[in-house]
Every structure is written in C-alpha cells, then in structure tokens.
Structure 1
Amino acid sequence: MRSTVSFAACFTCLAAPALAEPLRVVVDTAPLHSLVARVMDGVGTPELLLPPGGSPHDVALRPSDARRLSQADLVVWTGPAFLPWFSDSLAALAPEAEALAVLELEGWERLPLRQDPAFETEEEEGEGEGEGYDHGHGHDALDAAQADPHAWLDPVVAASWMERLAETLAETDPENAGTYRENATVAIEADTAMSERIAARLAPLSGRPYLVPHDAYQYFERRFDVPASGALALSDASAPGPARIAELRDKVEIGGIVCVLSDPETPADLVALLREDSSAATAPTDPDGLMLTPGPDLYPALIEGLAVTLEECLG
C-alpha cells in the first residue's frame, strides 16, 4: 500500500508542469528602474544595476553587476546618449539578453541639447538670433544623439516609455501580459493626476528667474512652464570658468535671480559665491534620484520632490 501511494505521488510530481522562473530584468538607473518596477508590480522585481548614491556617469561595474547582466532576460537602459560607456558592457556581458534603450524609442518629443548655459526664451529662439539651442532640426527630426537625454523628468515621456515597457514585457512573458498592461495604465493615470496638481501649484511661479546647477531640467521646465534663466554649466562633467562665474554673479545681482538650485555634483562654495550679497535663495535638487530609496515609489517622489523644491525656492 505504501509503495502504491509513493508511486502515485511521484507520478503526480512528474506530471505537474514546472513553475516558470521569474523574468530576470536588469535596469541601469534609479528613475528608469522605478518605471519598470511599477509596470512589473505583482509579477516580479527588476534589479537596479547602478547603486544609489553615486553618479551614473562614473560607475565601474562590480563582479556582481557583471553576473546579473549575464543572467538577464531583458536589460532596460537609458541609452548611449546618457551612458555611452554601458554599450560595450552590455555587448560583452549580456549578448543573449533583449535590450531596450528608452531614449531611442519613438513616440515622444525630444528636446534639442542647449548649446549655451545662458538659456534663451521661447521668443528669442523664434527670432533665430541666439545660440541656446541646436537649430536646424525640428524636434520630431532629432535622433537620440542630438537630444537632451534627461527626458525622464517629463511624466508624459515617462508614460510613453511605460506603455512600451508593458508591451515588451508582455511579448517576453505572455502569461502576465494583462498585468503589465494594467500596471502601466494605473501608473500613467496616477502620474497624470500628479502632473495636473503640480502644474496648478507651479503656475503662479512661472517667469520667476532661477538658475539650475547643470542643464538637466529642460523636460521638467517645458512640461510645467517654469523655464530656467540659465545653468551654472551645461553638464555635470564641466565646471564654470572665471568668466562664466562673473557672468552668473551679474545675472544674480542685476537679473533678479531669486533662486540658485544645487545638486549632489554642485560645489557648495560656488553656490555661496553666486549668492553672496544677494537675496537669492537656494535649495538642493536630485534629478537622478540618487538620494531616494529605489523602487516603484521613487519616480513619483522624484517629480513631486522637484516641484516642492521649486515651490519653496521660487516662492
């Protein structure tokens, strides 16, 4: 009798279908990881490749990072326009994984790289006399290499990416396709409501002059109509020289700058120098989510936090 039961149990084990392994998804940066985590909610948890707290531009992959890439089914990354060094790592470590570079997706409006840290107004751009933008290319004609790569700061762009992420995940894991699509819809609706609230709160502050630490906020500026008056530098990899610092000091003193934003890469003594003998306020920003806890809540916290910072600094 015992052997009969044992045989039946074993037969049942053999006949039962093996449980499918969870989809292994690796994502490069914290904001994009948050978007993927929202779409995958209830199905799996994506792995964040670049550790929080450090700049994504100067990261050396650890052996554990290489192992995670080599085991990935899908790698979602920002794109070579933002992380040019990652292309070689991806090709060497994850040649069999499907890769999705969101900056190279279609269906969202790219903004051109600004060529001068003294930004223009919309009117000046229309006159074609300034040098703040790379003219000669319509926004729709821009390729990823010509565009400003900090596009996640526009929730409308993030919505476009989440829609594509849901479809990519659905194709890779058809069994959970409905969950991915539903998650994307719920996240987009939540971000739309958040954007409407932010737009209403920031509307009275539009036109107040302020400086950003480097040119990473253009998508947020355009989405919520809070154009900055300039940047300390075009990128976080460059530092303003003496002539630029003198120009910035004049802008703060004469141009009525009311706020000088800083970020983790901005030297505190530079901000203090620019604000010296002025009434300009200052506040820290975190466009890459370096100071936030990774996960599905990071992206809305990032956008909401930037809005709150501008409210307090400009108000």
Structure 2
Amino acid sequence: MNVRRLIPTAALTGAVALAATALTACSGGNSETGDAKGGRLGVTASFYPLQFLAEQIGQDHVKVTGLTKPGVEPHDLEITPRQTSQLGDADVVLYLKTLQPAVDKAIELSGVKNVVDAATLTKLETHSAAGHEGHDHDHDHDHAAEGDGHDHGEAGTDPHVWLDPVKYAEIAKGVGAALEKADPSHAADYRKNAAELVAKLGALDTEFKDGLQNTATKTFITTHSAFGYLAERYGLDQEGIAGVDPEAEPSPARMKELQDVAKKDNVTTVFFEALASDKTAKALARDTGLKTDVLDPLEGITDSSQGADYFEVMRSNLKNLQKALGSK
C-alpha cells in the first residue's frame, strides 16, 4: 500500500465540477450512447472487489469500468475529469463509502442517480491491529480500533469486508439486486449468476473453515492490518505491525511487543503484501528468526498477484496461512 495522499477538498471539488460541466455540455446528459456500451448496462466500480462482482454477476449484459487501475492502492486514487465523466455516464455506480474519499466526493457532485454503497449491503465492524486485546472470536462482536493513523470510515469501521467470503457474498446479493433493478429485462440472468457466485463463495468459506480449523498456532503477524474480518471469521488472531498502512514505521515499543507475541504464540511467519515494501516485515523477521511470506489484501490484481482473480488469490492466501500457522 502506498502512503496515503490527501487531496485538498477545494481543488477536488473544482476539478469534479469542471468535469461535470464539460460532460453535460458535450453529451447533453448522463447517458452514454448505446453504441459505446454495445447495448449493455454501463457499470462503474470504484475498485477491484466491486468490479469483480459486477463482472461475475453481469457477464455479457454489462460493460464494467473500474476507477482504480491495477497497481494503484484504492485509498490513493485521485479522480480525473475523465473518470468523473465515467461516473456521469454510468447506469450503475458501485463503491464502498469512506474507503476512497475522492470517489465519495465525485459521486456526490456528479449527480449520478443509481448508486450502490457496498457498506450498506453488509455490517461493517471495527478491528484492532492488536488481535490479542479483547479478542474472543465472537463474529458479532465489534472490536475497538486502535489508533493506526488511518480513517476507516464511519465510527472507525474496517472497510476490508471482501476478505471474508461470507460478508462478500452478502454484498454480491446486493449487487445482483441492483443490476436486476437497473436492467429488468435481464433480471433472471442476474439472479442466476448472483446465486452461482454466492454458492462459490460459500464453498470458499468452507475451504477456509476446514483448512484453518486445526493449526499449531492461531496468530499471524502482518504489515497490513486488513485481515480483521478474515481472522474473526476463522478464529484467528491478526497482529498488525503498524495498522492498515504497511509502509508506516512501527514504534520500537510495537516491534518489541510483536517479538514477545511471536515467541509466546509460536508464530513462524511475518506477512507482507506484494505491492508494498517488505522492509519492515524483513526487519521483524530477522530480529525474531521468522520467515516472510505474502498475504494479499486483494485491493487489485496485478502481475505480482498470486492468482488471476479473487478466488485464485484467496486460495493462495489460504495456502500461505496454512503453512504459516502449521495446519494439521
């Protein structure tokens, strides 16, 4: 994850307003021509997990455009006039409110009518970077977020719901319903595709549940504290090095604490993500005699990803967790 860049509100508002004005002047409205869409429903998704849902559920009936390009961390997205035009052109916009402030502002100013906030399709929770503090593995229990220097959104909620297949399936159902409403003539296909995707996510949930049920340790250390939902779902303890930003420098006290946790809980591996520096992970691993490996937060797919889509990367994550935790 790259270091988050803050965009001045006034500058962002001006840029979005200018783009919206230009779009209206050139096209005379919010609808892209049928030729440009090929007669399909135009869907704009703010980042990969929502883009994947739209593609899987919509299939040949939709033309999906992603605002966040491969290799760009979603929090860092800066909206261009062209991307604002895409929002204005879309029949449906999928986003997760507060994850990408620039997208939130652009949607507000674009005037697009059919907007789906994934945060309303499942329950968001708060998770602590230190998994041992008050962690009872109760799936309905909200954990207090520790100060990690990052805005998780409403009341400090954790946005990384797609890393829990059960919650991701809830979002998939909502996306399917939104496509049905926007394009009633293909409602039966959307319903069928959504049901098939939900079934696949159910199977993935079973794989994780079975694969992580019997392990030598339940604790994993990661540079990116994105795996709170996954940890809570499968009875694990996530220990984040420095909150949700994997490139933030942890305090000496936190590094000492993690050394103690690693020794106490027989931790074998420090996880990092492929798109961020592994310097901190390697430093901790060197000091504690641990290994390093990749745990992908699945905010995008690139050539560095351990798989070509959501399911392949999640199964790679499962394999890496099983190895690190000593699955039996």
TM-score where L is the length of structure 1: 0.78
CA distance in 2, matches of 1:29, 1:65: 12
CA distance in 2, matches of 1:223, 1:196: 11
Contact kept, 8 Å, 2:164 with 2:230, in 1: the verdict is yes
CA distance in 2, matches of 1:222, 1:75: 30
Contact kept, 8 Å, 2:44 with 2:93, in 1: the verdict is yes
1:144 Cα deviation from its structure 2 partner: 4.6
Q: 2:133 aligns with which of 120, 123, 131?
A: 120
The answer to whether 1:87 aligns with 2:117 is: no
Structure 2 counterpart of 1:7: none
1:157 Cα deviation from its structure 2 partner: 1.0
The answer to whether 1:225 aligns with 2:235 is: yes
Structure 1 counterpart of 2:30: none
CA distance in 2, matches of 1:166, 1:29: 17
Question: Cα 1:55–1:189, aligned 2, differ >3 Å: closer, same or farther?
Answer: same
Structure 2 counterpart of 1:287: 297
Q: What amino acid maps onto 1:62 in structure 2?
A: T
TM-score where L is the length of structure 2: 0.75
CA distance in 1, matches of 2:117, 2:76: 19
Structure 1 counterpart of 2:203: 193
Structure 2 counterpart of 1:44: 62
Q: Whose Rg is larger?
A: 1
The answer to whether 1:234 aligns with 2:243 is: yes
The answer to whether 1:34 aligns with 2:43 is: no
Q: 1:205 aligns with which of 206, 212, 215?
A: 215
Question: Cα 1:119–1:168, aligned 2, differ >3 Å: closer, same or farther?
Answer: same
1:277 Cα deviation from its structure 2 partner: 4.8
Question: Cα 1:247–1:134, aligned 2, differ >3 Å: closer, same or farther?
Answer: closer
1:118 Cα deviation from its structure 2 partner: 5.3
Structure 1 counterpart of 2:117: 101
CA distance in 1, matches of 2:255, 2:69: 33
1:64 Cα deviation from its structure 2 partner: 3.1
Within 5 Å, give how 1:294-305 maps onto structure 2. 298-305=309-316
Structure 2 counterpart of 1:58: 76
Contact kept, 8 Å, 1:119 with 1:132, in 2: the verdict is no
Question: Cα 1:88–1:124, aligned 2, differ >3 Å: closer, same or farther?
Answer: closer
1:61 Cα deviation from its structure 2 partner: 2.4
Give CA-to-partner distance per residue, 1:8-45, whole Å, 9 cap, x none. Answer: xxxxxxxxxx9983211100111111111111013123
Identity of aligned residues (%): 22
Contact kept, 8 Å, 2:71 with 2:275, in 1: the verdict is no
The answer to whether 1:180 aligns with 2:190 is: yes
1:75 Cα deviation from its structure 2 partner: 0.6
Contact kept, 8 Å, 1:208 with 1:258, in 2: the verdict is no
CA distance in 1, matches of 2:203, 2:178: 25
1:67 Cα deviation from its structure 2 partner: 2.5
Structure 1 counterpart of 2:159: 149
Runs ≥4 residues deviating over 6 A: none
CA distance in 2, matches of 1:234, 1:86: 23
| TM-align CA RMSD | 2.9
Structure 1 counterpart of 2:318: 307
CA distance in 1, matches of 2:136, 2:88: 50
Question: Cα 1:265–1:121, aligned 2, differ >3 Å: closer, same or farther?
Answer: farther
1:255 Cα deviation from its structure 2 partner: 4.5
Structure 2 counterpart of 1:5: none
The answer to whether 1:259 aligns with 2:259 is: no
Structure 2 counterpart of 1:21: 39
1:188 Cα deviation from its structure 2 partner: 0.8
Deviates more, 1:21-30 or 1:190-199: 190-199
1:267 Cα deviation from its structure 2 partner: 3.4
Question: Cα 1:214–1:113, aligned 2, differ >3 Å: closer, same or farther?
Answer: same
- Which runs of no fewer than 5 residues in structure 1 stay unpaired? 1-17, 136-142
Give CA-to-partner distance per residue, 1:139-198, whole Å, 9 cap, x none. Answer: xxxx95442111111111111111111111111111000010100001111121222122
Q: What amino acid maps onto 2:105 in structure 1?
A: D
Structure 1 counterpart of 2:176: 166
1:225 Cα deviation from its structure 2 partner: 2.4
Contact kept, 8 Å, 1:252 with 1:275, in 2: the verdict is no
Contact kept, 8 Å, 1:209 with 1:258, in 2: the verdict is no
Q: 1:110 aligns with which of 105, 117, 124?
A: 124
Q: What amino acid maps onto 2:312 in structure 1?
A: A
